[in-house]
């Protein structure tokens, strides 16, 4: 079977006349495996590629990308790793595609970069924002990542707030994340999510996690007890016609978290170094992540991988519950 060429999305139709359509590039490609699973209502989980290309060091990033897919496959869930390869956004990669996002130097692609890299025909690793956008367009409803982008410290002066937040306000995708990293302004991030009307639920907790640490100290309003309950929230949200994504905050168990004292020390060092080097814009998050891995002697990396595995597993369960509900 040939790869499914997905047509122009209906919401774009009014702006698209026939002549332009005839010469228009394909908006995205869905792999056979993902298209088949979606068509038959089987569970699918989207995975982002910026975490692989810009968030984890080589060569562990390739092992991680393969392992995340395998965790899903073992649970009977179809993985849909998302990236732009040679200008074409892809929902679901083959083994070669997964190797490319791990080994090639690719740009970090947020939503606003998608049309530009498509037109240039180059490759890009998609952030949470771009992955959620593309997953939503393709009908993949559940997405696993490590940590979300958010409001940076000092954002009231720099305006540095990740497009992950505004994108999740538009893409109807449930994203499982271990909260946001403590390099960010966590309270500010939660405030912005409230403004954007993005539901945030804790998985068996109301203490929002700060990625490497089980608890940030910031409280959220709601906790959910099971994947089935999350699927019911998705169903209710659809019934209400509410198009926002849902954030499921999934903390690591305390015995797996990073040692808080070491975490706090390395964090302050990383922030000071980013400031001293004048790191700005989209380089900020990758700089902090790689500085922290180096300064922690690899310990933060191991915790990072545990977090991602934990989120991938829960996302697989949610996708299973969602597909059971939709049948």
Residues that bind Mn ion in the complex, under the rule CB under 5 A: 160
Tell which residue, 125, 68, 78, has the closest CA to residue 308: 68
Strand-pairing partners, residue 200, are 247
Among positions 175-204, residues that touch ligand PSU (CB under 6 A) are 181
| Residue among 4, 81, 127, 250 that touches ligand PSU (CB under 6 A) | 127
- Pick between residue 31 and residue 210 the one whose CB is nearest to ligand PSU: 210
CB of 284 vs Mn ion, minimal distance in Å: 6
Residues whose CB falls within 8 Å of the CB of residue 316, separated by 6 or more in sequence, listed in order: 43, 45, 71, 72, 75, 77, 144
Q: Is 313 in the site for ligand PSU (CB under 6 A)?
A: no
> What are the tokens at 86?
């040679």
- Pick between residue 90 and residue 192 the one whose CB is nearest to Mn ion: 192
Query: Strands 222-224 and 246-249: what pairing?
Result: unpaired
Residues whose CB falls within 8 Å of the CB of residue 194, separated by 6 or more in sequence, listed in order: none
Q: Is the distance from CB of 234 to CB of 322 less than 8 angstroms? A: yes
Say if residue 162 carries a ligand binding annotation. Answer: yes
Active-site position among 48, 69, 161, 317: 48
- Pick between residue 4 and residue 304 the one whose CB is nearest to ligand PSU: 304
| Residue among 216, 285, 300, 310 that touches ligand PSU (CB under 6 A) | 285
Catalytic, 181? Answer: yes
| Residue among 97, 149, 251, 320 that touches ligand PSU (CB under 6 A) | 149
Decide which of Mn ion, ligand PSU, none touches 50; Cβ closer than 5 to 8 Å per partner kind.
ligand PSU
| Residue among 29, 35, 47, 51 that touches ligand PSU (CB under 6 A) | 51
Decide which of Mn ion, ligand PSU, none touches 202; Cβ closer than 5 to 8 Å per partner kind.
none
CB neighbours (10 Å) of residue 36? 16
Q: Is the distance from CB of 5 to CB of 26 less than 8 angstroms? A: yes
Q: Is 164 in the site for ligand PSU (CB under 6 A)?
A: yes
Say if residue 163 carries a ligand binding annotation. Answer: yes
With contacts defined by CB under 6 A, how many residues of the chain interact with ligand PSU? 18
Distance CA 234, CA 66 (A): 28
- C-alpha 63, offset from chain centre: 18
Q: Give the CA angle between residues 278, 101, 81 to the nearest 5°.
A: 115
Distance CA 74, CA 71 (A): 5
Decide which of Mn ion, ligand PSU, none touches 147; Cβ closer than 5 to 8 Å per partner kind.
ligand PSU
Catalytic, 19? Answer: no
Handedness of CA 180, 139, 171, 205 (dihedral sign): negative
Active-site position among 69, 161, 181, 282: 181
Helix axes of 299-326 and 60-74: crossing angle, nearest 10 degrees: 30
Please report, in range form, the residues annotated as the binding site for Mn(2+): 160
Please report, in range form, the residues annotated as the binding site for substrate: 108, 128, 162-164
Active site positions, annotated: 48, 181
Contacting positions for ligand PSU (CB under 6 A)? 48, 50-51, 55, 127-129, 146-147, 149, 162-164, 181, 211, 282, 285, 289
């Amino acid at each position: 079977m040939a790869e499914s060429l997905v047509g122009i999305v209906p919401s774009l139709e009014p702006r698209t006349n026939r002549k332009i359509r005839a010469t228009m590039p394909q908006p995205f490609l869905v792999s056979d495996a993902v298209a088949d699973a979606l068509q038959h209502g089987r569970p699918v989980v989207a995975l982002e590629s910026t975490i692989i290309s810009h968030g984890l060091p080589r060569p562990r990033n390739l092992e991680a990308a393969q392992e995340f897919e395998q965790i899903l496959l073992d649970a009977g869930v179809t993985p849909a790793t998302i990236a732009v390869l040679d200008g074409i956004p892809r929902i679901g990669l083959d083994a070669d595609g997964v190797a490319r996002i791990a080994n090639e130097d690719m740009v970090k692609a947020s939503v606003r970069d998608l049309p530009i890299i498509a037109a240039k025909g180059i490759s890009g690793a998609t952030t949470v924002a771009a992955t959620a956008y593309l997953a939503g367009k393709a009908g993949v409803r559940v997405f696993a990542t490590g940590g979300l982008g958010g409001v940076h410290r000092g954002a009231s002066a720099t305006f540095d707030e990740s497009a992950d937040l505004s994108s999740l306000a538009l893409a109807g995708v449930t994203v499982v994340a271990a909260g946001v990293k403590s390099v960010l302004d966590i309270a500010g991030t939660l405030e912005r999510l409230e403004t954007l009307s993005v539901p945030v639920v804790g998985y068996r907790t109301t203490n929002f996690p700060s990625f490497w640490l089980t608890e940030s100290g910031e409280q959220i309003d709601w906790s959910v007890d099971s994947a089935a309950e999350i699927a019911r929230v998705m169903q209710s949200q659809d019934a209400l016609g509410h198009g926002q994504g849902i954030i499921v905050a999934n903390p690591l168990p305390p015995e797996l978290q990073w040692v808080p004292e070491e975490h706090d020390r390395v964090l302050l060092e990383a922030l000071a170094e980013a400031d001293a080097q004048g790191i700005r814009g989209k380089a900020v998050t990758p700089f902090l992540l790689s500085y922290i891995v180096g300064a922690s002697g690899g310990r933060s990396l191991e915790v990072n991988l545990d977090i991602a595995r934990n989120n991938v597993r829960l996302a697989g369960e949610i996708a299973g519950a969602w597909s059971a509900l939709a049948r």
